[in-house]
Chain A
């Protein structure tokens, strides 16, 4: 599909999506088509169950998709037997009205209706201009988080007791004067905490060190040792090597994500307008004391 086609498609779909009547028609069509496909084009006679070749082939194919081989003759017979049994139960169950007021069946049908609506929304391929606009409108949502690269030296309050703070101040002075060890972390206490983090987001830092530490290191100066700062683990000296502010990515950098979010929103809107359009076909009457709940508004909201 070239760009012209794409734009054209989008225009068409935008129009389609604004057309409630069309929704009904599309839905209706889908249901009819499906009903038709289900019944092989023609309903069987009331007391007859016909296992057409096409239906059997479909059973065999379904089997093959699961087992990744065709059914043996015995298995195929079993599939047919099972299908017939299910069909018998199904028809008898429907005849007895067991499908009425069955929560599972009702919800499954509702889900299928929602699928139809979603399929329509999913068919829409937006133009870059639309995505660009969406990105601009939701800049906060798509912002790349700030990134911090830093080293830290850990001093365990538990191991050092009352001297931990003084120890930290002393070590800080040495590090700031360039007199610290070649591996600053070796001046601190052993820990599973990372000695460095590279291009880490605030969330990543909080996950590793806790939120207090993440907040403080975010305010530390760049290019020099500073601290001491406290975390739930103990006392730390930190040296921030680089701080990259949160930035707004371009569409090219994150197009799949913008598309995903755009489609999610479209689906959401589509589902709502779809339901609203369908509901308009119905007059809803709420009886009893609960009617008061709807008195001030359109009684139809009872269906929400």
Chain B
């Protein structure tokens, strides 16, 4: 009867089908924000009354206006969140059995214990600081509106009377309902109720409901809920998905209806929607692409959606609307592929299964597609485009997120509840076939190939919607495979080795250069860029193996190159002639699913100077921090369920974090 035919405010074609279109990101912070007297980042002791700030003097007006960061507090504490989480309001979550509402999903993200869809007690070990959810679908609300004296309806005298009767309660209210039913049966309902134009907007959509709920759970300083949705175009099975995040509350969000892939599969149309949203509401929006690894070369393609070559205008808009991208999630890692980057020994993670083809396995991933499928390659293509267009279309920071569809953003290896309810803990979940090729061959993916990953780490000045959003806009973010390691990364020309030993490392970092996500200033003659990088292990996780810096650059011939540099590492290892560092070792006991922190370091820091810098060559640099080997979720399953998985299933891995790059462009 009333299924999908009648659509609330803007549903239209979008609603009927779109399965997982909306993603809203709420954010939680378990802590109060830092006190306002923290003028510098990092470990500067705000309580040190005799701390003497640098002399300021009397700068010229131009100098005063020079720094875009002036007046901004530098962030002192990293916030952890998930920008990609689905509740029962996502069609595919719903059809696979997820019953958690947005409200329950927020509660789960704040660390409350629940019973999972498959009946297991489940709890996030540490609350998130922020989170985003996704929804679509029409809703109801008519009867509430009559009851609530909605002015649109109260113009009708019959409805006015029913309203009074309902409010009187008891027998009178019951009589009102009888009257309503009678009127319906005899076709004498007030016409206002049968006019879709009037009634449509009254039917609060699922989108609006979710937005209202997001506001209720948003507690500035403690837990941030960011309103958003997932836009889910999958042309030919190629993943072009984006999560859209709004900086605003439901008052603005409710003025629009989410843009779905049924409206258009073209990212440029999504950006147009975002622009219209900003103009109409005065709000702000950003989009986060994800799973280039499942895009069969389309995520960083040299052509726009309509097949035309990229233009400067396209590059400007993509950079404007897509400040960060997701490098890892349950459906694999998108950093790079071993065949693309054969000299990088850390790329096996999150490749198996996902490398077979696009999202639906409707088409195979061929070697020709790889250079435009992965994040690092995308950064390299970005340099090539920038050389031609003057603007880098793929200048995007990095985050990680879960994409959990069972409302459980659990990405710790010992607490992995899978992506869908069917993948929640059970003895044989590892061997379930999760998808089968619809194209040539018999390619298939299995649950064991899913990752317990990842999280978004954000250097925000405080835990609020605005601050988290703004940090993403300036790309001061990093992604991890689920570990909560702290990572600092700064670039400039004046860092010295002693800076890595500074007790005010972040302060030094901000003072002498730019943080992750920033742009190096043009080089002055004879100077090479230096980078200050530091990492602190997750207090509940494993020690650190090493910090690496990945550099990509455009060589003299205009071809993009890449290289991984070892920058800091635990122990007394020495890199070999090929620059490679010996393995850190391995304490994993697979049978018991344990490891010990007897190898590796709790903390690593270094200043690294690019030894091969060419001032005329554009480049990007990002840091990768790698932990010592630890048991994978499959090892915990094996130990807990007493099963034996087949030999191809990995039992251990090295968790990691990837920072947003710092870019260098020669002066023009």
Contacts and interface: CB of A to CB of B under 8 A. Distances in A.
Contacts of B1: 31, 35, 38
Given A41-B187, A62-B12, A107 B539 contact: no
Given A38-B5, A210-B539, A196 B46 contact: yes
A260 B181 contact: no
Given A34-B140, A42-B187, A185-B43, A69 B170 contact: no
Nearest to B168: A12
Contact of B216 (A9, A193, A256): A256
Contacts of A41: 187, 189, 191, 194
Contact of A192 (B43, B141, B194): B43
B251 interface: no
A196 B187 contact: no
Interface string A170-186: 00000000000011011
Interface string B194-210: 11110111000000010
A167 interface: no
A290 interface: no
Contact of B181 (A25, A37, A104, A191): A25
Interface string B276-289: 11011000000000
B502 interface: yes
B137 A108 contact: yes
Contact of B200 (A58, A79, A193): A58
A42 B187 CA distance: 8
B561 interface: no
Contacts of B263: 66-67
A218 interface: no
A236 B143 CA distance: 61
Nearest to A203: B30
A57 B197 CA distance: 7
B144 A232 contact: no
B47 interface: yes
A119 B539 contact: no
B144 A119 contact: yes
B536 A191 contact: yes
B488 interface: yes
Contacts of A190: 500-503, 505, 605
B142 A40 contact: no
B164 to A, nearest CB: 11
Nearest to B147: A123
Given A120-B143, A190-B501, 6 more contacts: A66-B256, A86-B13, A115-B139, A123-B148, A201-B30, A256-B216
14 contacts: A16-B173, A19-B173, A36-B194, A40-B194, A59-B12, A62-B10, A69-B276, A111-B94, A158-B601, A185-B43, A190-B500, A191-B503, A194-B43, A196-B47
A201 B167 CA distance: 45
B539 A233 contact: yes
A199 B169 contact: no
B444 interface: no
B303 interface: no
A154 to B, nearest CB: 9
Interface in B536-555: 536-537, 539-540
Contacts of A112: 2, 139-140
A107 B88 CA distance: 10
Contacts of B610: none
Contacts of B185: 32
Most buried by B among A15, A90, A190, A233: A190
A63 interface: yes
B438 interface: no
A21 interface: yes
A82 interface: yes
A204 B273 contact: no
A302 interface: no
B273 A33 contact: no
Given A41-B189, A65-B256, A195 B501 contact: no
Interface stretch (B31-39, B363-371, B381-389, B578-586): B31-39
A84 to B, nearest CB: 12
A28 B177 contact: yes
A273 interface: no
B193 A66 contact: no
B259 interface: yes
Nearest to B170: A15
Given A16-B169, A33-B193, A192-B486, A260 B536 contact: no
A277 to B, nearest CB: 14
A241 B193 contact: no
Contact of A198 (B34, B168, B189, B502): B34
A30 B143 contact: yes
A208 B539 contact: yes
Given A33-B143, A67-B273, A207 B31 contact: yes
Nearest to A16: B169
Contact of A158 (B184, B488, B602): B602
Given A12-B169, A37-B6, A115 B194 contact: no
B142 A30 contact: yes
Contact of A195 (B43, B277, B502, B534): B43
Max chain B C-beta neighbours (<10 A), residue from A21, A33, A241, A256: A33
Q: Which of A57, A67, A201 has the largest number of chain B CB atoms within 10 A?
A: A67
Contact of A233 (B76, B169, B603, B605): B603
A257 interface: yes
A142 interface: no
A245 interface: no
Given A15-B169, A120-B144, A257-B219, A29 B180 contact: yes
Contacts of A35: 1-2
A165 to B, nearest CB: 16
A200 interface: yes
B539 A26 contact: no
A21 to B, nearest CB: 7
B189 A200 contact: no
B400 interface: no
B539 A207 contact: yes
Contacts of A103: 95
Nearest to A108: B3
B9 A62 contact: yes
Given A192-B536, A233-B602, A34 B142 contact: yes
Contacts of B603: 156, 158, 191-192, 233
